[in-house]
Structure 1
Amino acid sequence: MSTESTIRDSIDDAAATVGSVWPIHSFVTANPLSGFEDQPFAEAVAQATDILGGRGYPSPETFREALSRDQIDRAVLADELSEAGYEADPETLLDRMDTAVDDATEEPDTGEDRVDHVLTKWLSAFLDEGRAHWPLPDRDLGFYGVFRQMAAYDGQIPDSGVVADLPATPTEAIETVLEPHPEHQWDAIFEEQLAALPGWTGFVKQRAADGGEWQERYRITLTGYLAVRLALLDAVDADLTPSPGTDEHEVDELSEAFLCAWEATYREELVESVSAESEALADSEPSGRPDAQLVFCIDTRSEVLRRHLEATGDYETHGYAGFFGIPMEYEGYDSEVSVEACPPIADAQHHVRDEPTDAETKEEYDHLTGIRKGAAEIVESIETNAATAYGFVESAGSGYGLALAARTLVPGRVHDFFDGVDERVPHEHEFCRPSLDGLSLEEQVGYAETAFDLMGWDRFARLVVFTGHAGETANNPFDSSLDCGACAGNPGGPSARVLAEICNQDAVQAELRERGFEIPDDTVFLAGQHNTTTDEVDLYDGAVPESHAEELETLRADLETAREATAQERIDSTDAVRETERKAADWAETRPEWGLAGNAGFVVGPSELAAGLDLDGRAFLHSYDWSTDPDGDALEAIMTAPMVVTQWINCQYYFSTVDTAVYGSGSKITHNPVGNVGVYQGNGGDLMTGLPLQSLLAADDEPYHQPLRLSTVVHAPVDTVTDILADHENVAQLLDNGWLSLTVVDPTRDHAAFHYAGELSWQPADGAATVEPTAEATPAVADD
């Protein structure tokens, strides 16, 4: 193997400790410690502290607050502390943790700081995705190439060291800088330097791995990035000797005990609720055909709306991953680019675009959106040109001032205005249909069959609604974090439309009937989109015939009733719906909605099971009926995809909460968007990687999100789950290492609950002896 290949492979290995970061316009939630998931949680957070500098556990004050609110059962906590070897009372131990906090400060203005400042300037200029009015020239040379050509013109870079005469390739530059260091140190140097700016490193890592339009045009690699960093460090004569790691602190052992007790308290209540509903479900009589079936994303925000909708009438709601199983790139009618509308765990296999079907409505849309685009371009030119801005404001006078005042003082009225404007502009679904040209009939049938199989469907209502979701917010760089995570931070309505279009095809329905799905002739599939900020549901009813008009109007009315109840549960206000609209339009609103904050559980079971539960908007819900899945294939698909993705989401919220500065994004108040790819804190520095504190905390010292690892509860035979884990070593490893927990409520064993105890064994919830795996569940090599 060549030296170049060896160095490149070593850099890739070193970068494994830095999580991937996606551009903020398509915010993808991910575990920032994903590179450590092959280790036990406690060891992983300790290593991450050494490498990345982040705290891995909630603060003593957070635990103290949870205790005071009875979120941690004291008896459970006493057991956890005793097992860890601590006998003192919790308050004494928390005080001890307070005194153990390391308050050491770093030396200001080091050579590394100066390098970070220069390097982030170059990165932001090179990686800009169309926002800069004066883009960096010659980006087609690649990051290392353009730096090599233009570094001499940057007065902040000393003309010394290797940077004074950069070699032709990044590998040669790395070898030159590291020549004084023994090769056995190189891997540690790579790891430490890549972790110095984990936000930018994670973004480079993701972009280089996934490719895409920007990467194809302006190439950057981890090797090229690291070569530039090492050259700059050489120019300031920085010491590259790797820093020694630190030993695990007692505070981490105590924190692990407090955290486990907190999680167990939540989990026991959740499991008890599911077990009780499982028993009740077994004794209930089968219900008749529902008024309508609605499929929502498994998103925690859907749980509240689903619960209130089911209370308004005979509705059956289901949970399914919000990209509705269609791994696609989606190109809207009026969009300049396509977006990947599927989670990173899946590869986009189809390109679906909106095609106009109504020329008259299309013409009206083009006219009105053309006016709106022209106005937007004027506003953008004002924002980016000081002289133009002064002239415009002076000539516009009081009218412009009134517009600003309205935005600030009466955002609810502004919402009404823009809502009225939007009502005039036809929606794309009114004159377009998603093209299915790129999907064969077999593929279309497969996507519909998979959806019905995973949800355990054996009946169909007259109206079946696939409901995607998206947020609504003003002046918010993190707006895509409120959209559908399963659609890679994009709205889920297009995915819902594609599946509805597929299911309405006569040929698809005929084939599905051959496969055992008895779809009645009067069943109509349609799509919709749930606005998670205002909880309004927009139904795309173009395919609904007049024969179903009465049911459709009833559904609309009941959705509005459910919206009012949902908003009231979320917001304590005399007019909760109006308050949600104000939040959506207020450009000063730091918390337009809470997103997935509060998430702590994932429940996999029949829709009837979830219908009896009030999960307080804290649980992901995936529909699944074990009785229609004799081989466990549907459950296997859920445990190896949605369960893994929800663990990513949960970990991002967890780590963003426990250390907002390192793993989150700090405060929105001091954010600066950069290059349409992310945000800085202040006027430069590392690219922030996670969620802002306003998405996690009710106040600076009051967490809204409870930082708990995910508790998964599956309603299925325990032997089926054991077999799945035996076949998927990567999933079993996440559980064995404590990144999430798993409990099975087994309807074939008197609805008993079993907690996963590691190595394919189970601990009955009643404390009986551990259940060892059966012979059929011998661990196998992972096949995925």
Structure 2
Amino acid sequence: MTSTHKVFHVEHVLHELKHYLPAQAPLMDFVHHNTLHAFQHLPFHEALRKAQTTLGYQVYLSIDQFRELYHAKRINDDILNNVIEKKKGAKKTTQWKYKLLHQELDGLPNPRIGALRGQWKKVFNIDLDSMVHPNLFRLISSYLDQGISIWHFPIENKSFLEAIKELERKSWVSLFKGKRAKKMLLDEHTTLEDLLTILVGSHPHLFEQYLFDQQFAHQGWSGMVSTVEDLPQTLLDRRQISLHDLIMLECLLEIDTIDYLLSSGWNGLGNTLEHQLPSLLDPIEHSEVMEILSIFQEAFEWTYYDQVLAGIQQESKIPKRTGSKSFQGLFCIDDRECSFRRYLESIDPQCDTYGTPGFFSVEFFYQPIGGKFYSKLCPAPVTPKFLIKEIGDEKKRETELHFSKHSHNFYTGWIISQTLGFWSALKLFGNIFKPSMSPATASSLRHMDKFSQLQVDYDALFQQENSLQIGFKIEEMANRVEGMLKSIGLVDNFAPIVYAVGHGASSVNNPHYAAYDCGACSGRAGSVNARVVSKMANKPEVRAILKERGIDIPDSTIFVGGLHDTTRDEVVFYDDEIKDPIYQKLHEQHVKVFEKALDLNAKERSRRFESINTQLSPKEIHEKIRLRSVSLFEPRPELNHATNALCLVGRRELSKGIFLDRRSFLNSFDYRVDQEGNYLLNILKAAAPVCGGINLEYYFSRVDSEKLGAGTKLPHNVMGLFGVANGIDGDLRPGLPSQMTEVHDPIRLLLIVEHFPDVVLRTIQKSPETYEWFINDWVILASVNPETKEVQIFEKGQFYPYQPINKQLDHIREIESLLESNQENFPVYLIQQD
């Protein structure tokens, strides 16, 4: 939409369309990303104004919602005054504050998208969407289907459009009502320009606008086709489809529909225009309403940011620890681990916890026993060169008779439905009162058998499989363990046991389950990564290399992998390598600490759930949480990243004494180990797109649940195992369902780095793609001086000192009683412990 071309160029328009369409991968690889990535080259508020004006997205909360937040004191009055003064000057503060809080305002400008193609309905009273989309969507869904359909698409090994042509040639019935569209489909010389000339007339300057209108009438399907075209490996059973093919078929179906309704003598749409419609390419005019919304947005955000920055500067009442360490735990930076780590440290003050991306710096494809396909267990942009294979006997998978391909047969299907079908109905009825695990449960523990082995070591006899190196060489192992440990600042003073705990989730009847797993593992559980890095770190040859590089892991230290199921609040340890009775006893003691922390964590989570009485004991609540996780009828087994707002990159002491209400990603980092910011660069290159992407997808799914989110999940149907839609004929829904976002406060991520501001500035400037997140304010960046705790905020390319307005935060001693008080987000408290 930045082009000034007056002549239509197919390649240019397709490129522009692909840039602006949703880029959500199929459900299997659902990874969070900035929903408005196409506008990321622009400053945040300018980008939102453009997205709203051109594409019709709602990008802020409404004026009424912001005013309610102000009256509920969730927007601080002093901070609102500061934001207005900064934007408009001190002399205009009173005038603009009246506008924000009291003045009747005009509505938002009408979006430009759909204005041209909407003339079909306005002038001719033809609703093309309702007449074309049902057939179009069914054809695409059938062609892309990954196994949910009983019958395969009849034409195989051909592209989408060629398969449609083959159907037309050989079928007794046609997709078309008339002859013209079918003839043009089968004519190899028909071009997209020919079809647009019929639809729009001899007005090539309108062709691009028409295609944007057409494709954004079903942006979900178009976005999925675009993604599959660019990344065909996102489908396990690959398909040849392109956005061009989709557009060609849709234009033909539109021509056929209009021919049927108006006869063949109609003129193109462009001939009906009485005046020129606003183009998507025209400059965006200033809107006072959008400016008011942006001021409200910043005041809402800084009301929270100010509390956090004040908490970092003010002294907490956490007593200083003395004595040796009991254990160390390495967890994912995930915000759901924020409270769990807090409880571990509270129950056992002698333990240390660290945060690192949940793939633990080991990138590879994984093949389970009996698996036909490889799973990528690292961040989505990374392409691994290694393969880890699970070794052991063929798994005895949990099966049931009615989970059988024979039920697809006409005769056996009827027999099964008349016999086992009644038993299935009884089980379903019983599940209402007593939910339990079943073969339909997506369990994080099924990703890898606890008692199997992994091929971690490189074997010279079996070097490669499908161009992937099987296992890692010793030097490669040492590089990855070094990178992980130095990035979090753990280079000495190792505890007897170091736990590497990945995370995953369990759920039933939830097509978005990949969004609940570890984003750093491409939407899968981090159990394999935790186990692999532990095996690497336990090797004497690896430790010898690490010692030469300044990391001295004593022989008395062992690494143990684990998995935290964040839905059920359970931890499973891969402790088969603990042979020594002394360490077995230590491990048993630590397991009790973990179990108590999990109970308390379940209670903290329960305050958001309407169906659980938070005043029950932690153990009672934990049991209800477990039942909730396997209930077929529970749309909210957990709330995932809901309420995320913060990412801390620094030592644990930076935030250990602050109650952050499960709202923060915690990435461990020690500036003393990385004075020049080399490891910091790698951290920020991941934290900005990963944490920022999570934050923004929640933001936009919350403010516009219908266009940028998935709406309520209750009417969702799974389409082809790659997407969800409302009913059988709806558009694919991008973004997140409302059950994941309804308690989320839509504010941008505040990323706080504990390092000197000049080092942070030099670091982010080394990576243009990372710098874009900060210079355009999609993520707000702050630095904390590790020696003085002085806070500086990054704005317009420089760091500026910031003095928090909150001069003294409240202290809290008893968290459990606080949790029982309400369901809303809490302010930032300082934790007081004796």
TM-score using structure 1 length: 0.87
Letter in 1 for 2:127: T
Taking only aligned residues, the RMSD between alpha carbons, in angstroms, comes to: 3.3
Kindly state the Cα deviation for residue 488 of structure 1 after the two structures are TM-superposed: 1.5
Cα pair 2:354 2:652 within 8 Å, conserved: yes
Q: What is the CA-CA distance between 1:210 and the residue it aligns to?
A: 2.5
- What corresponds to 1:165 in structure 2? 184
Of 790, 797, 817 in structure 2, the residue corresponding to residue 752 of structure 1 is 790
Alignment of 1:331-370 (within 5 A): 331-356=367-392, 362=393, 366=395, 368-369=396-397
Aligned partner (choices 302, 306, 322) of residue 268 of structure 1: 306
Output one character per residue of 1:461-490: Cα deviation in whole Å (capped at 9) or x when no partner: 111111111111111112221111111211
| Per-residue Cα deviation, 1:10-48 (whole angstroms, up to 9, x for no partner) | 412331112311111222111111011001222222332
Tell me the CA shift for residue 109 of structure 1: 6.1
Give me the whole-angstrom Cα distance separating, in 1, the residues matched to 2:445 and 2:566: 23
Residue 672 to residue 710, structure 1, CA distance change in 2 (3 Å): same
SS at match of 1:627: coil
1:639 maps onto 2:684 in alignment: yes
* Aligned mate of 2:131, from 106, 114, 125: 114
Aligned residue number for residue 295 of structure 1 = 330
Note if 1:7 corresponds to 2:10: yes
| 2:295 matched residue in structure 1 | 257
Counterpart code for 1:375 = L
- The SS at the match of 1:629 is coil
Q: CA deviation at 1:570?
A: 1.3
Map of 1:476 onto structure 2:
510
Residue 581 of structure 2 is aligned to residue 569 of structure 1: no
| Contact 1:139 1:218 (C-alpha < 8 Å) held by counterparts | no
CA change 1:267–1:134 in 2 (3 A) is same
Structure 2 CA distance for partners of 1:76 and 1:591, relative to 1, 3 Å: same
Q: CA deviation at 1:643?
A: 2.3
Match of 2:609 in 1: none
Deviates more, 1:491-500 or 1:621-630: 491-500
Task: Kindly state the Cα deviation for residue 243 of structure 1 after the two structures are TM-superposed.
Answer: 6.0
Q: Which structure shows the higher helix fraction?
A: 1
For the pair 1:687 / 2:732, whether they are aligned, the reply is: yes
The answer to whether the 8 A contact 1:755-1:765 is kept is no
1:176 equivalent to 2:194? Answer: yes
Residue in structure 2 matching 1:406, options 430, 435, 452: 430
CA distance in structure 2 between the partners assigned to 1:543 and 1:99 by the alignment: 67
Amino acid at match of 1:349: K
Q: Which of the numbers 15, 22, 27 marks the counterpart of 2:30?
A: 27
Aligned pairs (5 A) from 1:278-317: 289-313=324-348, 314-317=350-353
Q: Does 1:455 align with 2:479?
A: no
Equivalent residue letter for 1:713: I
**What's 1:446 paired with?**
479
2:773 to 705, 713, 734: 734
1:780 — aligned with what? Answer: none
Amino acid at match of 2:372: E
Of the candidates 647, 651, 661, which is equivalent to residue 706 of structure 2? 661
- Aligned partner (choices 430, 443, 449) of residue 428 of structure 1: 449
CA contact (8 A) 1:726 1:760 kept: no
Amino acid at match of 1:24: L
Q: How much has 1:673 moved relative to structure 2?
A: 0.7
Structure 1 position 600 matched with structure 2 position 652: no
Q: C-alpha separation between the residues in 2 aligned to 1:325 and 1:505?
A: 17
Q: 1:511 is matched with which residue: 531, 545, 557?
A: 545
Within the alignment, does 1:205 sit opposite 2:205 as a pair?
Answer: no
Residue of structure 2 in register with 1:148 after alignment: 165
1:677 counterpart = 2:686: no
Structure 1's 762 and 375: CA in aligned 2 closer, same or farther, altered over 3 A?
farther
Distance 1:331 1:501 in 2: 17
Deviations 1:260-290 (A, max 9, x none): 001111111111222336x999xx9786542
Determine if the alignment matches structure 1 residue 548 to structure 2 residue 555.
no
Q: 1:141 to 1:488 in 2, by over 3 A?
A: same
SS at 2:573's partner residue? strand
Q: What residue in structure 2 maps to residue 75 of structure 1?
A: 78
2:4 counterpart residue number = none
Distance 1:291 1:181, change over 3 A: farther
Q: How many residues align?
A: 738
Q: Aligned partner of 1:195: which letter? A: F
Q: Which deviates the most, 207-216 or 266-275?
A: 207-216
- SS of structure 1 residue aligned to 2:191: helix
Shift of 1:185: 4.3
Aligned equivalents of 1:376, 1:452: Cα separation in 2: 48
What residue is the counterpart of 2:152 in the other structure? 135
3-state DSSP class of the match of 2:150? coil
Per-residue CA deviation, residues 604-627 of structure 1 (Å, 9 max, x unaligned), is 111333433321100111000001
Q: Contact 1:345–1:641 (CA<8 Å) still a contact in 2? A: no
In structure 2, relative to structure 1, the CA distance for the partners of 1:644 and 1:554 (3 Å cut) is: same
Corresponding residue number in structure 2 for 1:777: none
Report the secondary structure of 2:314's partner residue. helix
Shift of 1:149: 2.4
Match of 1:100 among 92, 95, 107: 107
The unaligned stretches of length 5 or more in structure 2 are: 1-7, 259-267, 459-468, 607-613, 806-834
**Aligned equivalents of 2:202 and 2:371: distance in 1?**
51
Aligned to 1:48: 51
TM-superposition CA deviations, 1:707-764 (whole Å, max 9, x none): 111111111110101101222233222222221101111124x210001111234343
Q: What is the identity, as a one-letter code, of the residue corresponding to 1:728?
A: S
2:323 and 2:777 map into 1 onto residues whose CA distance is 42
For the Cα contact (< 8 Å) 1:355–1:435, is it kept in 2? no
Superposed CA offset, 1:213-253 (max 9, x none):
74884211223233323333333457479863575543321
The range that moved more, 72-81 or 600-609, is 72-81
Offset at residue 421 of structure 1 (A): 15
Q: Normalization by structure 2: what TM-score?
A: 0.82
Aligned to 2:279: 244
- Asked whether the equivalents of residues 441 and 506 of structure 2 are also in contact (C-alpha less than 8 Å), the reply is no
Give 1:175 shift.
2.9
C-alpha contact 1:610 1:621 (8 A) present in aligned 2: no
The CA distance in 2 between the partners of 1:317 and 1:419, in whole Å, is: 34
The reply to whether residue 529 of structure 1 matches residue 550 of structure 2 is no
Q: What letter corresponds to residue 532 of structure 2 in structure 1? A: V
Q: 1:160 to 1:714 in 2, by over 3 A?
A: farther
Amino acid of the structure 2 residue aligned with 1:20:
A
Amino acid of the structure 1 residue aligned with 2:107: A
Instruction: Note if contact 2:757-2:799 (Cα within 8 Å) is conserved in structure 1.
Output: no
Query: Is the alpha carbon distance of 1:605 and 1:183 closer, same or farther for their aligned partners in structure 2, counting shifts above 3 Å?
Result: same
| Per-residue deviation, residues 196-217 of structure 1 (Å, max 9, x unmatched) | 3221222222222223174884
Contact 1:290 1:315 in 2 (8 A): yes
Q: Which secondary structure state, in structure 1, belongs to the residue aligned with residue 401 of structure 2? A: helix
2:15 partner letter = D
Q: Distance in 1 between matches of 2:223 and 2:637?
A: 28
Alpha carbons of structure 1 residues 735 and 423: separation in structure 2 relative to 1, 3 Å: closer
Residue equivalent to 2:358: 322
Q: Is the Cα contact below 8 Å between 2:443 and 2:507 reproduced in 1? A: no
Task: Name the CA distance, whole Å, in 1 between partners of 2:410 and 2:440.
Answer: 31
Determine helix, strand or coil for the equivalent of 1:519: coil
Q: Residue type of the partner of 2:605?
A: R
Q: Distance in 1 between matches of 2:526 and 2:352?
A: 20
For the 8 Å contact 1:715–1:747, the answer to whether it is kept is yes
Distance 2:588 2:753 in 1: 36
Contact between 1:11 and 1:190, CA under 8 Å: does it hold in 2?
A: no
Q: Does 1:221 align with 2:246?
A: no
* Cα distance in 2 between the residues matched to 1:609 and 1:163: 68
Q: Aligned with 1:464: secondary structure?
A: strand
Other structure's SS at 2:500 match: strand
Deviation at 1:676, TM superposition (A): 0.4
SS of 1:611 mapped into structure 2: coil
